[in-house]
Each structure stands twice: as structure tokens, then as C-alpha cells.
Structure 1
């Protein structure tokens, strides 16, 4: 019987820093002899519209009229993704490949102004995954273009909010020889953009090394520590990221779980450059399930360091417990944030509501995009969502509404997002 432990099985059972605090027990299935290729695929329709902080209206096609100001922002995509995996090509070596195609179906000419994601041109495709795997004993290796989950790599992960997930060019090594302990090493070199899957760039010229250790020796307690090392990332100086996560399940009838997270992005202390200083962050979350309802409360605090607490591969989302649909730019630097969430199972799906409030300092993150302003302020966001599965669970439907209020802006912003995802 083959003794290879596939990387995909190990990664899916791990709970690492920055992930959901709900406890998930690892399940390692006995290796099974597999021959031939397994094929998978998904087709997606995706639509989003917002009123751009009062500079337009929902469902209006954006353009550069009205004196050069945008008067709306409606975007849409159609996508198809095909994948194939062979877990044993020969001598325990496996392989996987994935092709992602994105198009507009002509919608940008009549209904919307642009697309949320592309693969180069408006109608194009990109090889988003191609990798080799090998396992021996309790050690597995995966090398090539691949997905990296946030639970495994909290500062370089594949984001799932757009049409398709972005990927990384990396080598990933996992070992479970030590009882109740998982050891992970990764070398990450390049990542593609979550907005343009064909736009590949180096995270760091000399790559980024990641080491993670997780231990579950104590009942109901999961301890995880992660270290990133990026040599010469600041021209001639190294960058180190230390991130820790602890989750404790109280074992009550409501499944209450407490999560704590925190860490530091350490830049050079001897450069003497203004603004080049460490960034520290802390977060806490408690939540549980109450029959058909669930609820949680989360808090995060990030100081005014030089590097934001976010995904190094995309520069968009964060590993913080307080991450909502649209609030990332208000929480990742010089900000204190609190988020309350609740969910209810009804009408064949799940309704969700989340409210977040951020007290933003003068050193907050300021990306160079429309609608961002400098200075201190207060930010709040309301998310309303509904998600369900239909057609024998082969198709997932999502609808979301976001309301944003930033007192540094002249107006509020409303956003609607809809998508349908069919798996085959």
C-alpha cells in the first residue's frame, strides 16, 4: 500500500494562525492506491456594483463622463475553471494542473463598465496551478504553482472573495512525525494578482521562507506559531514576521471557542529611516453555535508601524479576526476594531449579519485608489449576506450587501455583490 501522505489532505485538516476559530479535528485517512486522473471544474457568474461614495448610483454603468468623475462602478465576469490531479504518476510522484478562463460575455458593453478579475485580456485564460507532489512516511512535498490557504500561511494566502482564487509559486513541506504536532516549511517566490491572474510578480527578490509549528497535546487547545523570513526585503535589510494563534474550546453544549492571535512585523532598527519601524498587532475572538443560530465577537488592534498586517502576496485582505467584506483598508494599520457577527439558518440557506467599527489613527493604511483619504477618523461597516446550495448541492448562490460610513469621506458607500458557482 502506498505510504505517501498527500499534501492536500494534511493542509485541509490543519488549523493555523489567522483562520476561523471554530475547532476542526484533523482527519488523516489511510492512503489508498489511486491510478489515473481525477477531473474537476467550476463555472462562475459574478456581479458587483457600488455607488462610489456618492459619486454615482447602484446599477449605473461607470464611465468618465460628468467632468471626468466616475458616476458608477458596476463590474461582472463569467469564468470557467478546469482542474486535473493524478496522485500517483509513478513511484509516488503526483501532479496537478488547473486552467482558469475569464470572460465578459459582452456585459461590459451594455450593463457594466469593467470586470472584477481577468486572466490578461478581457477574454483570456491562465494556468493558475501546475505542481508535483511526493510523500514518504509522514512527510509530504508539493512544488510548483499552487493554492496556499490562510489557515496554513496567514501572510501569504489565496483569497477566495473574487471569481477565482489567486495562487503562488512555492515549495511546501509538511511533516507529522511528532505526536500531536505538525511541522510546515514553505519557500514562496511569486504570486499572481487577485485582480489579474496572469500578472505574476515576486513577493521578494530572494523569496520568503515560512516555518510553522502546531501542537495539540493539551485537550481542546490548539497552539500555532508561524515565522516568515524575507532576506533583503528592505533593499539591504531583512524582514521577519512572527505570528501566533491559540484556540481553546470550552467543550460546552454551545461549542464556545476562544481565539487569540497576535504578532509583529519586524523591520530594521538600525537604518535610521523615518517610518521604518515594527508593526505589532493583537486580536481576540469568542463565538459559538446556538441551534439554528451562531454568534461571535471579535477585536483587533494594530499600531502605526511601517508594514501593514495583510497578505504579502496580494496586499488586499488580512489574517485578522475582524476582517469583513470591505473593511481591510481600515483595520490593517493604526486601527482598533471591533466586529459583531450573527448567523441564522433559514429558507434552505444561511443569513448573516455583521457590524464593525474602527477607530483609525493618523498612520492608517492609505492605498493609492479612489475614495481613500488621509488623517484620523471613524469607520463603520454593515454586511448582510445570504448563501445557499441548490441542484443537489452542485451550485452555490451568494448575495451580499455592504454599507460603509467613513467620516473622512463626503458621503457613504453602498455595495451589492452576487455570484453563482456551479461545481462539476
Structure 2
């Protein structure tokens, strides 16, 4: 399919906006502030996150794995050390640099996708040291412009996010323009030429390059009610089967004690994608406080067309469709997720429980169901702990899987 001129027009508008803002920045120079002052007043941050992930997964035996003596269990014990530095402000400009190191503690009896342990279940926390973020940012009036390697999280990260759950975060190389404030109209546009994926620099799938345009706008139609609209244009050079254009709308509102979230999106192939398809996405979710329990009920559909499922290659996928990550790639027949859950405060922490039932969006195949349990507790202002457990019981998709996580995070 032919890519329209729409992304190029957006690029021209962004360039004009950047030029205008840069001129304003030069005109607003402080009499006292200097570049040296901005560098001296910079702040250093340190974040440590240690996690043990245990996987018990039945083996799906087929022609691709029967040559190996496959193991059903994996244990990933990893420490992520994150060191960053943020400069002070100079003429509205700031700089930011962040380094991440992921190290396996003890025996790495898991398949990180780069350590060669292909006989173990996959836990995508590969070892390595790399630049996670490195950018220059200008803030002035209602505008923010960020150029360089950066984190981009849009809405609930259903379509664009940083995959912050994994030890190696997903970040974006490009330019981002943000306009507006939380209580008014907001416009967010990014041009991205490369996505630094969670697999690490030693992986063949570490980067996703292309002409990526991300446009997102929010308008508060009334108090406690807002509508957002988005267009995500992924004209990819790498992983071209994910090249697509997605546009849609999202509504979030509150009616007394009831919270509602409704969303619709449409997706079609573009660029060098070999598949010709046109699929839809739907979400309906309700939430309410029932005494001490914050309850929710939701129904999410990632549709299918011509045996191609609705794709979300930039999403923070661990947040959706269950903790066991069985649907990181949408099946050819799509997926329907009917879920119900709740959370409450227990012993100074937060306890959560959710049940998912998965079925094909096309046809009548039952995929399976999953229970998710979590408990998070803030030990001090700087240290927190989290325990999560998930169990997926397969019907006609994938295999039975149990996962357990124990995680401690410290900020300094």
C-alpha cells in the first residue's frame, strides 16, 4: 500500500515549531544563568532493581524443538543498575544521560535470547551495558521539545510504551514535540527513526528502524471526561511484517463512583509489509470502588483479517492480557480478553487479583485462562518490594505456564 503524504506534512510542521521555539529561547536568556552553572547544578540518580523470575512451562513439542533436550523450568536472577545525570536549566534547555547495566547473579539458567541457553524457557532480561537515554530538552511556555534517545509512553502504553517491566527498557531515537497542559488541550507528536528494543545490543533484533510517526492529542471535554485521538504510522525498514498505520480514539470518564474507559482503533498494512490486512481493536472497561476493593471489569479485542492479527509492536505488552505474556504477538485469529479483578490495601501494601479468559476473535476457539496475583509494599521512601504470581492454563493455545517474580527496587 502507498504511504500518504500525511507524515511528511507533520514533519514539516514539527520543524517549523522547533525553529520558532528555538528563536524564543534565544530571546529569553537569563542575565545570571550560565552554561557552566547549569552543568554544575546537575543531579545524579542511582536506581537498583534486583529480580528473580521463575518459570515453569510445559513444552510445546514440534519440529522446531524436538532436536533439543528441552527443560521446563527457568530461573533468572538479575540486577539492573541504572545511573543517570540531569543538568540544570540554561535558557530553557536541559540535558539528560542515562546508563543501564543488567547482570545475571548466580547461574543464568534461563534463555535471555542472547546467552545461548535455548533449552530453557525465555526470560527476556539479557546481560549488557548500554545508553538507555541521552537527550537535550527545551521547555518554554506550553511547549516541550526533546531530541535524542528518550522514553515515550502514550496513554496507557497499549500501543506505544517503554516496556518498563523488563530489565532492559525500550527507548526511542528521534524528536518529540509536546504542547499543552494536563487541564487543557494537549498535542504530542514524535518522529522516530529507531526503536531500541528490550533484547539488548548483542541481539540481532535489538533495533527496529524506519520512518515512525506518532501523533496523539487529548481534549478534556468536561470535568472528569477526556477524549484522545491518535495516529501511529510505522513504516518500518526492519521487521517489515509489523509495518502498519493505526488510528483511533479513546475515552476516559467518571460517573460518580464509576470509571469508564472506551477505546477503538483501526489498523492496516503499509510500506513493505507483505501482508494485506485491515483489523480493528476494541476496549470497554469499567471500574468502581466497592468498599475497600477497587474492582474492574473489562473486555478487550484485538481483531484479525486475512489470518493476520492486530499488531502492537511498540506496546508495553506485559501490562495487558496476563502476566505470563502468552500473547506478545497477536494470534492469526486475533484474541478476545474478558477480565475481572480488583485490588485493596493489605498490611501497608497493595494486593491485586485478576482473572482472564482468552478466546479467538475469529471463530470459536478457546485459548485458555489465567490468574494473576500481586502484592507490592513500600518499605521506605527509597526502597520497595513486589511479589507477583501468574498461572496460565491452556485450552487450544500455547501450553500451561506458571511464573513467579520477587523484586526489590531502591532509588538513591
Shorter-normalised TM range: 0.7 to 0.9
Supply the distance in 2 between the matched residues of 1:268 and 1:401 (Cα, whole angstroms): 39
Q: Counterpart of 1:84?
A: 85
Q: 1: distance between equivalents of 2:124 and 2:235?
A: 31
Match of 1:259 in 2: 261
| 8 Å Cα contact 2:292-2:344 kept in structure 1 | yes
Q: Which residue of 1 is the match for residue 3 of structure 2?
A: none
Q: Is the 8 A contact 1:386 1:399 kept in 2?
A: yes
Match of 2:402 in 1: 414
Alignment deviations for residues 216-269 of structure 1 (CA, whole Å, 9 cap, x no partner): 13222110001122347697997321021101111x2x3x21100110112259
Task: Identify the match of residue 378 of structure 1 among 367, 392, 395.
Answer: 367
TM-aligned CA deviation for residue 204 of structure 1: 4.2
Does 223-232 or 292-301 show the bigger shift?
Answer: 223-232
Kept in 2: contact 1:351–1:387 (CA 8 A) = yes
Counterparts of 1:5-404 in structure 2, within 5 Å, are 35=38, 36-53=41-58, 68-88=69-89, 90-108=90-108, 112-113=109-110, 116-117=123-124, 122=127, 124-151=128-155, 154-176=158-180, 180-196=184-200, 201-205=206-210, 207-231=211-235, 239-250=244-255, 252=256, 254=257, 256-267=258-269, 276-305=276-305, 308-313=309-314, 317=317, 323-327=321-325, 329=327, 332-333=330-331, 334-360=334-360, 376-390=365-379, 392-404=380-392
In structure 2, how many angstroms separate the alpha carbons of the residues matched to 1:297 and 1:346?
21
User: For structure 2, which runs of at least 5 residues remain unmatched after alignment?
Assistant: 1-32, 113-122
**Alpha-carbon distance in structure 2 between the residues aligned to 1:236 and 1:104:** 33
Structure-2 change in CA distance of 1:210 and 1:84 (3 Å): same
Q: Supply the distance in 1 between the matched residues of 2:273 and 2:190 (Cα, whole angstroms).
A: 31
- Does the residue aligned with 2:304 lie in a helix, a strand or coil? coil
1:113/1:228 CA distance change after superposition, 3 Å:
closer
Q: State the distance in 2 between where 1:396 and 1:177 align.
A: 30
Provide the rounded CA distance (Å) in 2 between the counterparts of 1:161 and 1:414.
Answer: 18
Is 43-52 or 178-187 further displaced after alignment? 178-187
- Give the distance between the partners of 2:370 and 2:242, measured in 1 at CA: 38
Question: Cα deviations across residues 56-105 of structure 1 (Å, max 9, x unaligned)?
Answer: xxxxxxxx9996122421112012101111241x3221100101111123
Q: Which has the higher helix share?
A: 2
Instruction: Kindly provide the CA deviation profile for residues 96-129 of structure 1, in whole angstroms up to 9, marking residues without a partner as x.
Output: 0101111123332xxx34554556xx4x311111
Distance in 1 (alpha carbons) for counterparts of 2:340 and 2:242: 39
SS in 2 for 1:203: strand
Classify 1:300/1:331 alpha carbon distance in 2 versus 1 (closer, same or farther; 3 Å). Answer: farther
Distance across 2 between alignment mates of 1:360 and 1:300: 12
Question: What is the DSSP-based 3-state SS (H/G/I as helix, E as strand, rest coil) of the residue aligned with 1:313?
Answer: coil
Q: Larger relative CO (CA 8 A, sep 6+): 1 or 2?
A: 1
Indicate the RMSD between aligned Cα atoms, in angstroms.
Answer: 3.5
Q: How much does 1:138 deviate?
A: 1.4
Tell me the residue number matched to 1:17.
Answer: none
**Structure 1 position 346, deviation (Å):** 0.7
The answer (yes or no) to whether the contact 2:125–2:166 under 8 Å persists in 1 is no
What TM-score do you get using the length of structure 2 for normalisation?
0.76
| Count of paired positions | 356
In 2 relative to 1, CA 411–222 (structure 1 residues): closer, same or farther, beyond 3 Å?
Answer: closer
Please state whether the residue corresponding to 1:159 is helix, strand or coil: coil
CA contact (8 A) 2:46 2:81 kept: yes
Query: CA separation in 2, counterparts of 1:318 and 1:114?
Result: 18
Taking structure 1 as reference, are residues 231 and 159 closer, same or farther at Cα in structure 2, changes over 3 Å only? Answer: closer
> Residues 73 and 66 of structure 1: is their aligned pair in 2 closer, same or farther, counting only changes over 3 Å?
farther
* Deviation of the 1:376 alpha carbon: 3.8
Contact preservation (8 Å) 2:176, 2:189 = yes
